[in-house]
């Protein structure tokens, strides 16, 4: 079985935490800051951070269009928090100049759970992962609407919010509202790595 190279978008966000989680799972990792590094990757993680800043930096470093192209060509991508916003086709409460990479047929509400002081943690069930997952939500988005090809993997119900969608998958794209890189639980990263391994194994 080939060892895939999984990059982490490294211009802003929780880069080291994702690299550490992936390295424990036995894959080759790469911090991605330029198009040549992106081309060396079989898959990519878009970390938590600030979605508008990440998009602006991607454009400045000439990564925005290469990222969009790789996503269109089927590269597996895992987005967490801000990464989910970047993968969304539609964003509510975004800035006037909000840009995304797109690919996920979802509508995301930015900072939906509130400001930094409204951050919270909780246990949730996630399809494909055995046992409860500890979700860390920091200025997190939620998914307001999904297209017909999007699989809902997890929901959360904080403070009476009934069943807000916080994890989705569509084809090679996986996204969570929360930060699975926080703490030592690598099961969601393992879910992504298993998919990437299967994808690279199937390629001619």
**pLDDT digit string (tens) for 179-203?**
999 888 999 999 999 999 988 755 4
pLDDT tens-digit map of 90-100 = 998 877 788 99
Query: What's the number of CA atoms in the CB half-sphere (13 Å) around residue 167?
Result: 23
pLDDT tens-digit map of 123-134 = 899 999 999 999
Active site residue 23: no
Cα angle 104, 181, 189 (rounded to 5 degrees) comes to 60
Q: Is the dihedral of CA 19, 30, 89, 188 positive or negative?
A: negative
DSSP assignment string, 52-65 = HHHHHHHHHTT-HH
Instruction: Report all structural domains of the chain as residue ranges with CATH numbers, in order of start.
Output: 5-202 (3.40.50.880)
Cα angle 52, 7, 82 (rounded to 5 degrees) comes to 25
Tell me: pLDDT of 140 over 60: yes
Active site residue 121: no
pLDDT tens-digit map of 45-64 = 999 989 999 999 999 999 99
Given the residues 17, 18, 41, 181, the one annotated as active site: 181
Active site residue 41: no
Return the residue matching tokens 């998919």.
195
């Amino acid at each position: 079985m080939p060892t895939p190279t999984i990059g982490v978008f490294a211009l802003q966000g929780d880069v080291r935490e994702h690299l550490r989680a992936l390295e424990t799972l036995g894959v080759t990792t790469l911090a991605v800051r330029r198009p040549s590094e992106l081309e060396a990757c079989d898959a990519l993680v878009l970390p938590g951070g600030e979605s508008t800043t990440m998009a602006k930096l991607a454009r400045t470093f000439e990564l925005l269009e290469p990222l969009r192209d790789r996503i269109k060509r089927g590269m597996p991508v895992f987005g967490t928090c801000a990464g989910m916003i970047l993968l969304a086709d539609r964003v509510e409460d975004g800035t006037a100049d909000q840009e995304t990479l797109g690919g996920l047929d979802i509508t995301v509400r930015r900072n939906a759970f509130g400001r930094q002081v409204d951050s919270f943690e909780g246990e949730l069930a996630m399809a494909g992962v055995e046992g409860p997952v500890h979700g860390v939500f920091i200025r997190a988005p939620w998914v307001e609407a999904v297209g017909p090809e999007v699989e809902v993997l997890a929901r959360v119900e904080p403070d009476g919010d009934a069943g807000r969608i916080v994890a989705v998958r569509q084809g090679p794209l996986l996204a969570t509202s929360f930060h699975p890189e926080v703490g030592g639980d690598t099961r969601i990263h393992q879910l992504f790595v298993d998919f990437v391994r299967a994808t690279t194994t199937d390629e001619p």
